[in-house]
Chains A and B, each alone.
Chain A
Amino acid sequence: MGEPLLARLIADGPPSLWEWFARNWDTGRAGSVKDLLGDHLVMSLVPIVAGLVLALPLGLASARWRWLYQPTAGVFNVVYALPSLPVFMLLISVTGLSKTTVIIPLTFYAIAVLLPAVVDGLGSVPDHVRQSAVAMGFTPLRRLVQVELPIAVPVVLAGLRVVAVSSISLVSVGALIGQGGLGMLFTRAYQNPFLPPVIVGIVLIVALALVADGLLVLAQRLLTPWVRARRAS
């Protein structure tokens, strides 16, 4: 649909885009852009948060018992490698055509990225720093919470930024099973070649990703002033 669509966009111009957006933002019926945005947020945020919550203990265990790491990381990588469609098919039989069917694979993807980030983050704690924490009389739990995890934060946050952006973008795939959030705007356009919804969908998804990334960068600055200070020097 290259040439004619593009031509039409140019012919229609931005006013019709805005007009379409304003008309469809809040129609009061299901499927308004506002609803889709809300769905999109839920389906991308839940995997990010759940991924982090699950990757932390898995990462801690993998760092503690190294032999656990490769098999665990392997499982999540294999799931990551599976094409989404058959995964959805499989899940639909359990969870039906619901948001959960999208949230579950995205959570797996998040873990696939965050598990190595947690393990590498803990690995980034210099040995002499860990040793001196031991020597000063930290108990293992206190050492983890007050020394090792804070030092791991920059690496984990870098992973989280990748997860946030990819998760926000990947939700659209859920449109395949009618749960794509803003991705639904693309399938509609596919049935009826009309461009404004596609543009609105892309812009909103990119904007969402940028906002999420910005918030994470802000979190990074607040949580790890010692890294920012290092860059400034």
Chain B
Amino acid sequence: MITFDAVTKRYADGTVAVDNLSLEAPTGEITVFVGPSGCGKTTSLRMINRMIDATEGRILLDGDPVQDIDPPKLRRGIGYVIQQAGLFPHKKIVDNVATVPLLLGWDRGKARSRAMELLERVGLDPAMGERYPFQLSGGQQQRVGVARALAADPPVLLMDEPFSAVDPIVRTSLQDELLRLQAELNKTIVFVTHDIDEAIKLGDRVAVLRVGGRLAQLADPKTLLSEPADDFVREFLGHDRGIRRLQFVGTDGLRLRTDLTVPAGFSGGSPEPWVLAVSDDGRPVGWLRGDGGGEPEPYGTFRPGRDSMRSALDAALLSPSGCAVAVGEDGKVVGVATREVLDAALAEAADG
């Protein structure tokens, strides 16, 4: 656990970057610092590994003040990932990843094989280990950055806008990857971003900071969306709070209808306005009118239990029938969530 105990940082020029910050980042959870530019996110993060020293107050790592730990020793036990990845241009990828193990005095062979293992773990081909950083794409470099931070298996990981320099598709996959890794590794992660959607997606807890380095609200994402503490937080969360909150409503309770599917060769005769054509191997083909006229229309899918209500609703809005197609892990249709069922679930979500 990382504890900020009334921490203030005043720079030499008088700028107060962090003002009397007290909060805890619990062990094994992702705590996100989010806020507008200049609100002191980076400063707060760097005070944890003492790249910046606090002016007042204390930061505790599992109860021990970081001020009492020799900085290099402290830092070797804390993984650090930054926006530009910060890879060493003159070292091969494998040696980049092996950096901290080597600093810790592991022997070369062991450090290298650990590095290879980690490359695989973050979804890279271990053959890339022999390349130099500039031979990798931005997204790949960022994965290497994560692998390097994890190399010595530190209990704590600090991440400063690690995914903001890559395009939205790569960013989404890196975020998913991080969540997958975290499910396996259970690190104590402090993650800095200025993107509230990223904060809500990744954070177990989100700390919203305002300019001047003061904590505006600390809450889990769902609470943050439903009960913003004040106008600043409300404004920072932006529009669509209601829709976004559906991300935290599950779909496992949805009653699915299984009587709305027809074989692909369907030629009319259903009393329903829309029926779902399904191929021989069980995959969705498209929506057909109950009287059999016209071509198959587009459909949207979600995985019940895994995807959120937001995905289910999105899937429903993609099809002319207003129904969302539920598919299993294998992509085969397991049922259909009708407009009425979704409606009821939404009403329930609005109450709760």
Task: Give min CB distance, B69 to chain A, whole Å.
Answer: 11
Report if A41 contacts B (CB, 8 A). Answer: no
Query: CB distance B100 to A230 under 8 Å?
Result: no
Query: CB distance A226 to B72 under 8 Å?
Result: no
Q: Which residue of B lies closest to A152 (CB)?
A: B90
Contacts of B142 in A (CB 8 A): none
Task: Give min CB distance, A45 to chain B, whole Å.
Answer: 28
What number of A residues sit within 8 Å (CB to CB) of B? 23
Report if B75 contacts A (CB, 8 A). Answer: yes
A residues whose Cβ falls under 8 Å from a Cβ of B: 126, 128-129, 131-139, 142, 147, 150-151, 153, 224-226, 229-230, 233
Contacts of A128 in B (CB 8 A): 82-86
Q: Which residue of A lies closest to B46 (CB)?
A: A135
Query: CB distance A136 to B100 under 8 Å?
Result: yes
Pairs A–B under 8 Å by Cβ, sample size 27: A126-B84, A128-B82, A128-B84, A129-B89, A132-B86, A134-B75, A135-B51, A135-B80, A135-B82, A136-B76, A136-B148, A137-B73, A137-B74, A137-B75, A137-B76, A137-B100, A139-B72, A142-B103, A151-B89, A151-B90, A153-B90, A224-B90, A226-B89, A226-B90, A226-B132, A229-B132, A230-B134
Bound-state Cα–Cα, A230 to B85, Å: 18
Q: Which residue of A lies closest to B71 (CB)?
A: A137
Q: Which residue of A lies closest to B151 (CB)?
A: A136
Given contacts A137-B100, A137-B103, whether A229 and B135 have CB atoms under 8 Å apart is yes
Which range holds the interface residue count of chain B? 20 to 34
Contacts of B100 in A (CB 8 A): 136-137
Query: CB distance B132 to A150 under 8 Å?
Result: no
B residues whose Cβ falls under 8 Å from a Cβ of A: 49, 51, 71-76, 78, 80, 82-91, 99-100, 103, 132, 134-135, 148, 158
**Residue among A132, A142, A233 making CB contact with B135, cutoff 8 Å:** A233
18 more A-B contacts (CB under 8 A) besides A126-B89, A151-B89, A233-B135?
A126-B86, A129-B87, A129-B89, A131-B51, A133-B88, A135-B51, A136-B76, A136-B100, A136-B103, A137-B71, A137-B73, A138-B103, A147-B88, A153-B90, A225-B132, A226-B91, A226-B134, A229-B135
**Residue among A136, A137, A150, A233 making CB contact with B90, cutoff 8 Å:** A150
Q: Which residue of B lies closest to A129 (CB)?
A: B86
Bound-state Cα–Cα, A30 to B194, Å: 77
Q: Which residue of A lies closest to B135 (CB)?
A: A233
8 closest pairs, A vs B, by CB?
A132-B86, A137-B75, A137-B76, A135-B80, A128-B84, A137-B72, A128-B86, A226-B132
Contacts of B88 in A (CB 8 A): 129, 133, 147, 151
**Residue among B78, B82, B90, B103 making CB contact with A132, cutoff 8 Å:** B82
Task: Give min CB distance, B141 to chain A, whole Å.
Answer: 11
Task: Give min CB distance, A225 to chain B, whole Å.
Answer: 8
Bound-state Cα–Cα, A128 to B85, Å: 8
Bound-state Cα–Cα, A129 to B90, Å: 11
Task: Give min CB distance, B127 to chain A, whole Å.
Answer: 15
Given contacts A136-B80, A233-B134, whether A131 and B103 have CB atoms under 8 Å apart is no
Q: Which residue of B lies closest to A135 (CB)?
A: B80
Bound-state Cα–Cα, A142 to B84, Å: 22
Q: Which residue of A lies closest to B80 (CB)?
A: A135
Bound-state Cα–Cα, A4 to B87, Å: 64
Q: Which residue of B lies closest to A124 (CB)?
A: B89
Task: Give min CB distance, B26 to chain A, whole Å.
Answer: 22
Contacts of A230 in B (CB 8 A): 132, 134
Bound-state Cα–Cα, A120 to B271, Å: 79
Task: Give min CB distance, B190 to chain A, whole Å.
Answer: 13
Task: Give min CB distance, B64 to chain A, whole Å.
Answer: 17
Query: CB distance B80 to A138 under 8 Å?
Result: no
In this complex, the member of A126, A137, A139, A224 whose beta carbon has the largest number of chain B beta carbons within 10 angstroms is A137
Task: Give min CB distance, A177 to chain B, whole Å.
Answer: 44
Bound-state Cα–Cα, A229 to B307, Å: 44
Q: Which residue of A lies closest to B99 (CB)?
A: A136
Contacts of A153 in B (CB 8 A): 90
Contacts of B74 in A (CB 8 A): 137
Bound-state Cα–Cα, A154 to B178, Å: 36
Contacts of A147 in B (CB 8 A): 88
Bound-state Cα–Cα, A139 to B73, Å: 9
Bound-state Cα–Cα, A132 to B103, Å: 14
Bound-state Cα–Cα, A134 to B135, Å: 24
Bound-state Cα–Cα, A217 to B92, Å: 22
Bound-state Cα–Cα, A135 to B99, Å: 12
Query: CB distance B75 to A136 under 8 Å?
Result: yes
Contacts of A151 in B (CB 8 A): 88-90
Bound-state Cα–Cα, A225 to B133, Å: 12
Contacts of A225 in B (CB 8 A): 132
Contacts of B87 in A (CB 8 A): 129, 132
Contacts of A134 in B (CB 8 A): 51, 75
Query: CB distance B90 to A135 under 8 Å?
Result: no
Contacts of A139 in B (CB 8 A): 72
Bound-state Cα–Cα, A51 to B75, Å: 37
Bound-state Cα–Cα, A229 to B73, Å: 34
Task: Give min CB distance, A156 to chain B, whole Å.
Answer: 13
Contacts of B49 in A (CB 8 A): 135
Bound-state Cα–Cα, A160 to B99, Å: 30
Contacts of B71 in A (CB 8 A): 137
